[in-house]
Amino acid sequence: MSNTYAPVADISDFEKIVRYHAIKKSRHVTPSESLHPVSLWMWPVRGKIIDSYSAVNKGINIAGRQGEAIFAAASGKVVYSGHGLRGYGNLIIIKHNSLYLSAYAHCRLVLVKEGEWVKQGQKIAEMGSTGSNKTMLHFEIRRMGKPINPLSLF
């Protein structure tokens, strides 16, 4: 298991953003979307899983090549797009409905902006190594703000 992700204090800035968008901003998803959970998730990138979901790594790490396309795992609204969170590099968070968020970290190039709606399978970024010591995608899915193992949905 890699030590790429170490907890940052009691509650990280990432956790604060996730909680804010999972709870406070659920009104920004249209009512028809908030009623329907995501029924089918798409794999965001091809590659080998190099770090599994755990208490420390709240997602999965998928190896790849610099510049490889990263796709939205499901349709939704981009609620965060930036590099202000330590340990995640360039990060995208997509809110899919009132239950689910997905996060894509260490992007070399981000192709979407906050407030933008994306479709499942849309190219949203390119794989990189920002905030990491290796090229990979750190991929998380949150249900009601709490991390879940992405592999449980595929």
For residue 23, the tally of other CB atoms under 10 A from its CB is 11
Is the pLDDT at 36 greater than 60, yes or no?
A: no
pLDDT digits (tens, 9 = 90+) for 112-145: 999 999 999 999 999 999 989 999 999 999 998 8
Pairing of strands 100-105, 107-110: unpaired
Is the pLDDT at 2 greater than 50, yes or no?
A: no
pLDDT-derived band at 153 (thresholds 50, 70, 90) equals confident
**Terminal-residue alpha carbon distance, the chain:** 22
Helix residue spans in 7-142 (DSSP H):
13-19, 31-34
Residues 13-153: name the CATH superfamily.
Glucose Permease (Domain IIA) (2.70.70.10)
Question: In whole angstroms, how large is the CA radius of gyration of the chain?
Answer: 14
Return all residues near 124 (Cβ < 8 A) that are at least 6 apart: 70, 71, 72, 78, 92, 94, 104, 110, 111, 112, 118
